[in-house]
A = this chain, B = another copy of it.
Amino acid sequence: MATVPLLLDAEAAPAARAVFDDIRAKRDSDQVNNFWRALAADPALMSATWDRLQAVMAPGALDPLTKELIYIAVSVTNGCGYCIHSHTAAARAKGMTPAQHGELMAVIAMAAQTNALATALQVETDARFRA
């Protein structure tokens, strides 16, 4: 159970309900995820998060699927179960294939491993990386 109530539309303040509506319109879906229902108790935080998320995840120099893969990598490393589930679903909706998912897993595991080794050995950064 969440530490806050997951607000239904009828329970939310008008400012939060406006974000619910915008989410539905932008995502072309009736469903509003629990994350937003948990944030709805604080419409200012909810709205700032939703606005920024859209700006960051929009197509740009990186395509939306690549952005989802990066999002999953961060979420795994932070151990956020909710985020792993929601962004894995989002990546699949944006076309991630099983083979791509497998390689994502392999890169995340490889990085976790060499991160641990470089940290354990306290390796000094090579001068050439700083050029």
Query: Which A positions have Cβ atoms within 8 angstroms of B?
Result: 1-4, 6, 31, 33-35, 38-39, 41-42, 44-45, 48-49, 52-53, 55-57, 60-62, 66-67, 69-89, 97-126, 128-130
Contact = CB atoms under 8 A, between A and B. Distances in A.
B116 A60 contact: no
Given A31-B126, A42-B101, A84-B120, 8 more contacts: A33-B128, A38-B118, A42-B102, A52-B110, A69-B69, A83-B111, A109-B113, A112-B115
Copies per assembly: 6
Given A74-B108, A103-B60, A107-B56, A120 B3 contact: yes
Contacts of A69: 62, 66, 69-70
